[in-house]
Structure formats: C-alpha cells, structure tokens
Structure 1
Amino acid sequence: MSEAITIEETTPEDVNGQQAEAGSAAPAITDVTVIGGGPVGMFAAFYSAMRNLDVTLVDSLPELGGQVAALYPEKPIHDIAGFVSGTGAELVGNLKKQIDTFPERITVYTNEEVRGLEQLADGTFTLTTPAREIRTRSVIVAIGSGAFTPRPLAIDYDRERLDGHGVFYFVKHLADFAGKTVAVAGGGDAAIDWALELERIAGKVVLIHRRDNFRALESSVARLKESTVAILTPYKFTSVTGVPDGDGLHIELAKIKSDETLALDVDALLVNYGFTSDNHLLKEWGLPVKRGDLEVDEYLETEVPRIYGVGDAVNYPGKVKLISAGFGEVPRAVNHLAEQLYPDRKQPLHE
C-alpha cells in the first residue's frame, strides 16, 4: 500500500463529539492501533496494554461496544465463559472497566471513522480519520462484519409507517414490550433468545418460523419447547398490516406446502432474520479479502506485515464467529505483534 486511501463518508464531518476517553492524547507514534470498538476490539486494546504496548482504539460509533451496545444492549449473552447470562450492556460495561485500568496506555477516539490507511517506507502506518492522523507501528482490525443491515421480511409491507411502530428489527429497551402480545420471526439463536427473554415480561409470545427445525443451540431449543412461547412452524408471512385507527398489527400466515392459512393480531413483531454486511473498508485499505472477510494466518496476521485481524472480520479454516472465539484470538495476535515490535520481550507462558 503506497498511497492513502479515501473511502466514502459515512459519519458527520462535525467532530465535536470525538474525545479521548482513556489516555489524554495518543503518543506521536503508537505501538498498536485497534480499529473497531466492539467487545473484541475493546479486549484487544486491554490485552495490548497488559503487554505494555501503547494503544490507540478508534471506533466510528459515538460509544464503545459495537453492535452489542448499539443494537441489543438488553439481550442476554450465554456463551462467554464465566459470564452467567449477563446482558450486552453489562459485558460492554465490564470491558470498559478493564480499559480504564490502563489510562496511561490506552487512548480511545469515538465517533471517528478510519477513512485512510497508508503504509510508509519504514514499515509503519498512518491512519486517517476526519479529525486526525494516527501514526502506528501495527494495526489490529476488529471491525466485525462491517456495515450491517437487517434482513427484512420477504414480503411487501408499509415499512415507512410500520418499521419502529409495530415492526422491529432491534430491541433497545425490553420494557417497551411489557404486557404485550409479541410475534417473533426467525429460527436461529437470536430469535429463540429473544422469544425466551420476552416471555418473562410480555403478555404472550408467538414464534414464527418457516421450517420445522431450528438452527440454534440445542439447549436453547429445549428451553423453548418447555416454555409458554407459542410455536408456529412451518409458516411464512403473506401479509403484515397496521390496525386501522389504532396500534398493533394484523398478520396473515400460510403454512408451507399446504393450503392452510392463519391470521394473528399482535401488538408488535420482532424480526430476526440476520443481517447483510458490507466490509468494503477492507478492500479499500488494500487488504486481502475472501468472501467479505479478512484473510489471516495462524497468528491472525494478514499478508501485510504487522496488520492483524480478530473477531468477525476474519476468516480462516475452522473459524467460529462468536464473541468468545474472538476473545481467544486476541492473545495470539497481540503476543505475536509484540514479539515483532520488541523481539527481546518473551511471550507470557501463563496468566
């Protein structure tokens, strides 16, 4: 990479909301810059500081936490060791506490998108945001799946009127659904988790899936079948309309491979069909990409020396896209880059 790269603007030019949340200012050149402030990026910054590396953490969102904080702060997270069914907000809060233990090592810039990445002749890098240039000896890319858009219902409906007013793709506040009749669409872990979580406070929960089988953790499916959640399978949506002169939705369903139809009146519909993602930033930065993911070796390093990737941004044989798996990748990447930067330092043998 010989030239700085400019990418399409997706955040405002106004940088008044940008701030260094940890250290007061980054050094003239930092040991490692972590791009992406989701849970895995936050842990990468913390672990780098544990190795006595100076760290700059940059994220395009106003707050740290990535999708977890922005989209489902109240969703329970079950698959992180030692974290017993806490919420996304609790996980992010704990990671912030870890970062705060190294104020002299970690500098955080939020609401700043990295728009350019240039490798200099001496092997170091310059990252460009709307507010500053960051000189760094190494880079860890932790941007997850990039820009994300929820997959919508596969039918035409009045999205302008109903999205956010009956039809929802995210849950910011679980209490908004208290006492209501809620339909949940989908058959994966997210749909089942939300159905079980809503069961605690909603008046009634109905789970609608187009297949008889669910693509979710076996333990979650077992809990679902033992719950009070009404399960409708295999059904597809044929119509979703608002209730005239009032709140709520009228839903019409058709049973797969059958003439049977069903109509429901609900207060809200939560759609969990997953997300489409766009990691065009990786290509814009000139990094090796395969099927939208960053290609890395066994040390999580790309073919560009001292540029690493962790979390959902990367791809390699056997890759599992879980937060817990991303946490496990961080020590591999950081210990390897620390050895590249400071060959006299030995990798820790144990905690």
Structure 2
Amino acid sequence: MSDAKDIYDLTIVGAGPVGLFAAFYAGIRKAKTKIIDSLPQLGGQLATLYPEKYIYDVPGFPAIKASDLVENLEKQIAPFDHDTCLEEEVQNLVQEDGYFRLETSKGVHFSKAVIFAIGNGSFQPRRLTIDGAEELEGKHVHYYVTDMNKFSGKKVAIAGGGDSAIDWALMLEPIAEKVSIIHRRPEFRGHEHSVDNLKKSAVSIYTPYVIDQLLVEDQSFKGIQLKETKAENVKHLDLDSLIINYGFTSSLGHLKNWGLEVSRNAIEVNSDMSTNIPGIYAIGDICNYDGKVKLIATGFGEAPTAVNNALHFIKPDTRTQPMHSTSLFEGKEAKAL
C-alpha cells in the first residue's frame, strides 16, 4: 500500500496539447496532478515531429506555429504545481484498493483517476540499426532535439527526408558550424516550400544516400560513411553529432491488455469521456465516440469534461459543472497568469 502522499488525484498520460490543456484545467480545479509522457519534452507530436509547422484549427489563432502553441500551453500550466515525468512509458495499469497503480519504464505511480491523452499511441523513434549506434545514443547519435544550442559550433548531420528532418536542418543551420542532410531517395518528402528553403540554404544535401557505417577511432566518434543507393559510391562525413529522423512508431498494445475497450485504434468512450473501466478517461485522438472529429480543438473541449467527471468519480459530492474559468481566476490573474 502506497503512502497517501504519493497518490495523486489525476494522472494525465500524454503531454501533447490536449494533455497539457487537461493539466491546466485540473489546476483550475485544484486537483493534485501528475503528467507522464514517453517523449523527452512537453508538447507531444507537435514539439517532436513538426515544431516549425503552422496549425490552422486552433480557435482564436488564424495560424500558430506548433512550437508557439506548445510554449503557450506550458505557460498556461506554469502557475500550478504539477509533477511531470518525461521519457516514461506506461507499461502496466492495475487497480488497487480504490486507486490505480501505473507501472512505467522508470517506476511506479499511484492515482485515484487516470486520463489518457496519448494521441495515436506511445511514441518511440525508429532507431538506426547499424553497428555501434546503440553505444553512441545520447552522446553523438540523437533521436530528439530538445536544445538546439548544444549543437552550437558543431558539425551535424540529419538523416531523414520528411518535414521534421528539413525543419531541424534549417533551424540548426545558423547555430551549428556545418549542417548536412541525408535522404535515401532522390527527392524529399517535405512540403514544397520547405524543400525550396532547404535548397536555397547552406545545408549540404546528400541524396540518394544511406548511412553505411559509423566511423569510430580509439572509442571516439569521428563521423559516418555514406553509400549511394543502387550504386557503389561512398562518402565520408566528419561529424560531431548525428540526428536520426526516420519517424516514430506508436503502440496501443498495452491498452487492450489492461481491459480497455479499443476499436479502430482508439479507446471507446462515453459522452463524459469515461471508458469501460470506472475511473479511467480518454481524450483527444486516442478516444472515439459517434460523431468524433479529430481536431486539436475537439480535444481541448473534451479535456475539461474528462477532468470534471474524473473529480466527480473521485469525490461524488464534487460538482461536475463548476464555476466558469473567469470566475475561478477572479482576483488571481496577476499572480497566476
């Protein structure tokens, strides 16, 4: 039995935009809240896959850059003392004596109710599968860019042909000493505007090439060997860091094992966002109901519904329709916002 101080009111699994807004609303309701996400930073797919892309379906913003939306959501939850656990994947969930036990890749967490906001599932990067890659991971081989400044003055290569790889190449160009991008096909898969900007930049482009070998001398990373696809030509690149952007895989396998009703790669929910397991709720792209529209704006609307009903589940005398947020913040704007 866990000590009571370790048991949270709400645990939100997923730190994308919808999960972050749920955390904000949980803060308004003064719920003791924890956020768990498998990625190394807040923001989910927006922050990881396309931070420089614009989003057009957020009410009140004709267009907003993905990274700016995430930054605003982080500011919105900043006044609340939520605990955040990153790079943790929930691997098991069981009910114990009136609360849930969440077992992750790093530890165990306890919560009276759980809200899943995991988008299309738990994200893991597609890794480089050549000798030595695993040993260099986190030192010279990277799958995430959480701080561009750590590449300042470095020779950096990015492997990948999609929008995210192009975005990182363009953003790192003014920071790194030299930036290269490697793609196995002759043409990139990114948006035309991004590809045009890439070709106009100082980024060195290697197509169609694949990474053939990691070059290590005396246990020191020196660079990579490239091999031209469908040919025998090879090139050596002197590097300090290699960023792999081959995309991500997502998994919903655990959800079925926990007894949740899953269909069409989503958790089935009721109108109050509850699942077939009392105390567990789902919001955003991971949930499904009749008439569901998969937009960020839809998830933003589902978040308060889930929070309110989760708190009512925890404490039945709690109102499911609390005061308007403007009333809850009245007289506290300067301090909280």
Assess same fold via TM > 0.5: yes
Identity of aligned residues (%): 34
Local SS of the residue matching 1:206: strand
> Are the counterparts in 1 of residues 214 and 223 from structure 2 also a CA contact under 8 Å?
yes
Structure 1 residues 10-29: aligned runs within 5 Å: none
Aligned to 1:334, which of 294, 304, 316?
A: 304
Counterpart of 1:285 in structure 2 is 258
Deviation at 1:276, TM superposition (A): 2.7
Q: Distance in 1 between matches of 2:215 and 2:285?
A: 36
Q: TM-score with structure 1 length normalisation? A: 0.65
Local SS of the residue matching 1:59: strand
Q: Is 1:55 matched with 2:31?
A: yes
What's the CA shift string for 1:5-58, capped at 9, x where partnerless?
Answer: xxxxxxxx9x9xxx89xxxx96xxx5x6533444431211223555xx453432
Q: Distance in 2 between matches of 1:186 and 1:227?
A: 17
Q: TM-score with structure 2 length normalisation? A: 0.67
Q: Is 1:173 matched with 2:147?
A: yes
> Are the counterparts in 2 of residues 205 and 230 from structure 1 also a CA contact under 8 Å?
yes
Deviation at 1:191, TM superposition (A): 0.7
> Are the counterparts in 1 of residues 13 and 19 from structure 2 also a CA contact under 8 Å?
yes
Which has a greater percent of strand?
2
Structure 1: gaps (5+ residues): 1-12
Local SS of the residue matching 2:54: coil
Q: Summarize the Cα distance change of 1:344–1:97 in structure 2 as closer, same or farther, 3 Å threshold.
A: closer
Q: Distance in 1 between matches of 2:179 and 2:214?
A: 17
Structure 1 residues 1-351: aligned runs within 5 Å: 34-48=12-26, 53=29, 55-60=31-36, 66-69=39-42, 76-80=51-55, 85=65, 87=67, 91-92=70-71, 94-101=72-79, 103=80, 108-111=82-85, 116-118=93-95, 126-129=99-102, 133-136=110-113, 139-144=114-119, 147-154=122-129, 156-243=130-217, 247-255=221-229, 258-267=230-239, 268-290=241-263, 293-296=266-269, 302-303=275-276, 307-311=280-284, 313-314=286-287, 325-326=295-296, 328-335=298-305, 338=308, 345=321
Q: Summarize the Cα distance change of 1:128–1:145 in structure 2 as closer, same or farther, 3 Å threshold.
A: same
Local SS of the residue matching 2:41: helix
Q: Summarize the Cα distance change of 1:312–1:345 in structure 2 as closer, same or farther, 3 Å threshold.
A: closer
Q: Summarize the Cα distance change of 1:57–1:252 in structure 2 as closer, same or farther, 3 Å threshold.
A: same
Q: Distance in 2 between matches of 1:244 and 1:344?
A: 63
Q: Summarize the Cα distance change of 1:297–1:261 in structure 2 as closer, same or farther, 3 Å threshold.
A: farther
Q: Distance in 2 between matches of 1:246 and 1:35?
A: 38
Structure 2: gaps (5+ residues): 313-317, 325-337
> Are the counterparts in 2 of residues 35 and 57 from structure 1 also a CA contact under 8 Å?
no
Q: Distance in 2 between matches of 1:236 and 1:96?
A: 37
Count of aligned residue pairs for this structure pair = 302
Query: Match of 2:237, as an amino acid?
Result: D
Local SS of the residue matching 2:25: helix
> Are the counterparts in 2 of residues 287 and 294 from structure 1 also a CA contact under 8 Å?
yes
RMSD: 4.6
Deviation at 1:271, TM superposition (A): 0.8
Deviation at 1:196, TM superposition (A): 0.7
Deviation at 1:195, TM superposition (A): 0.7
What's the CA shift string for 1:322-342, capped at 9, x where partnerless?
Answer: xxx445412135347758968
What's the CA shift string for 1:302-350, capped at 9, x where partnerless?
Answer: 4557743234544689976xxxx445412135347758968984998xx
Deviation at 1:251, TM superposition (A): 1.3
Deviation at 1:131, TM superposition (A): 7.1
Q: Summarize the Cα distance change of 1:163–1:293 in structure 2 as closer, same or farther, 3 Å threshold.
A: same
> Are the counterparts in 1 of residues 27 and 33 from structure 2 also a CA contact under 8 Å?
no
Local SS of the residue matching 2:82: strand
Local SS of the residue matching 1:183: strand
Q: Distance in 2 between matches of 1:244 and 1:158?
A: 13
> Are the counterparts in 2 of residues 206 and 232 from structure 1 also a CA contact under 8 Å?
yes
Local SS of the residue matching 1:55: coil
Query: Match of 2:143, as an amino acid?
Result: Y
Q: Summarize the Cα distance change of 1:319–1:186 in structure 2 as closer, same or farther, 3 Å threshold.
A: farther
